[in-house]
Amino acid sequence: MKKFTNYALGARGIRTESGVIYLDPGQSVEIDPKTIIGELPDLGKKPDLGNPDAGDFDALNAKVEDLTKQVEALTAERDDLTKDKDDLTKQVESLKKSAGK
């Protein structure tokens, strides 16, 4: 018996003497190689999940830091605009009261 795993993105079928065995992505099955009819379908390759390059993390951390600064700047700008709106609303209300006297 030999273990076969489908690393491809789609389902694959292995033709055997007893019928077709379908494998969904990531699914494994043990089959006696002697019972396989014809060629094996392309099951893809096992992904290399080794340690990612540390530079990738540094670049991502720098991007997160930059985006955080942008959010902080936009939040401060929004707060300033809200304060300006409140001040203008008070001025309009004051002018309306003065005009009504």
Greatest C-alpha distance within the chain: 102
| Cα–Cα distance measured from residue 85 to residue 78, given in angstroms and rounded to the nearest whole number | 10
- Per-residue pLDDT, 59: 79
Q: Is the pLDDT of residue 57 over 70?
A: yes
- 98/101 Cα distance (integer angstroms): 6
Average pLDDT over residues 76-98: 94
Q: Is it the case that residue 54 has pLDDT exceeding 80? A: no
What is the pTM assigned to this prediction? 0.47
Of the candidates 78, 7, 97, 84, the one whose C-alpha atom is nearest the C-alpha of residue 47 is: 7
Predicted local confidence at residue 61, as pLDDT: 84
Give the model confidence (pLDDT) of 59-85 as tens digits.
788 899 999 999 999 999 999 999 999
